[in-house]
Amino acid sequence: MSSRSIFLSLLPLSLLLFQQTPDPNGAHIKEWTERHAQYSAPKITQTDSSLEITANDPRPLDSVLAALAHQHGWHINYEDPKYGKADLVDDTAPSWLQEHPNGGRVYAVVGGAFFAKIPIDGYFPYDPVQILPTLVEAYNRSGNPGRFALHTINHDSFDIVPTAAAGGPQAPLLDTVMSFDATDMVPATELRKFCEKLSRVSGQTVVFDGSFGLPMSAPQYEVGIKQHSQNQAAREILREIYRQVGSTYCWRLFYDTDSNQFVLQLRW
């Protein structure tokens, strides 16, 4: 048999094998699409005796807290733990994979569905002191990533502090004891300096993201920050900074898994 005949006889088999070759990213694209389709904003329903809260989000506790704070004017600060590999999921977008099938991957916190039913007092249905502790306890039992504790500052002001991730217990980053001096500068500048100092003291990279809330670098927001703090927890230093910026601000300290750094956002 000639070599041409052999080639022609093998050609249909090679075409069949080519057609049956699976997309190496097919399973990921299916999982990504289904997971993102389930994401939903928090829904808070009040009955005569309870609040029923549902959410589906990579960070469902933070999204629920933000919704409650927005509804009732509560002041809630939130801090991520340093999430480990078991807390993460491949979150690379299908559109990226189509153009870069062997490109870099993006990871996100593998949160998801969360439900809590919280008993309420009919006379004071939106008392944060009765709602928030039960909410945090429900989250810690939910199987979603991270474990948290609630610190009450006053009746309308609270800190959500991380206590553990998949790798085990953790000390919150903002427990870091440090000193900090601030002068008459725009708030965004001082917050960047705060993050740089916290990075040096803690050994964890911390950056300030000024893209949220008011544009604090604009001249009309040059309120001036004056502060001299010695050997204090970073969260107390930060609390004093945002009190000078404005009483309506709160912080979000997120852990970015891809860059292995914490990102501070000051939200209004």
Per-residue pLDDT, averaged over 237-262, amounts to: 89
Q: Is the pLDDT of residue 11 over 70?
A: no
On the question of pLDDT at 169 being above 70, the answer is yes
Q: Which domains does the chain have, with CATH numbers?
A: 25-170 (no CATH), 173-268 (3.55.50)
Q: How many CB atoms lie within 10 A of CB 232?
A: 16
- For residue 8, the model assigns a pLDDT of 44
- What pLDDT shows up at residue 112? 93
Position 47 scores a pLDDT of 86
- Going by pLDDT thresholds of 50, 70 and 90, the confidence category of residue 153 is very high
Residue 28 CA to residue 240 CA, distance in Å, equals 45
H or E segment to which residue 237 belongs: helix 234-245
Residue 238 CA from chain centroid, whole number? 18
Highest mean pLDDT among 98-102, 226-230, 258-262: 258-262
pLDDT tens digits along 210-219: 775 544 444 4
Dist. CA 225–CA 185, nearest whole Å: 6
221-to-115, 169, 209 alpha-carbon distances in Å: 39, 39, 16
What's residue 213's pLDDT? 52
Of 198, 176, 162, the closest CA to residue 83 belongs to 162
Q: What SS3 class is residue 3?
A: helix
- DSSP string spanning 176-197? -EEEEEE-SS-HHHHHHHHHHH
| 56-114 pLDDT per residue, tens | 999 999 999 999 999 999 999 999 999 999 999 999 999 998 888 888 899 999 999 99
Instruction: Kindly tell me if the per-residue pLDDT of 205 is higher than 50.
Output: yes
Answer whether residue 17 shows pLDDT above 70: no
Pairing mode, strands 40-46 and 50-56: antiparallel
pLDDT digits over 21-56, tens only? 567 788 998 999 999 999 999 999 988 889 999 999
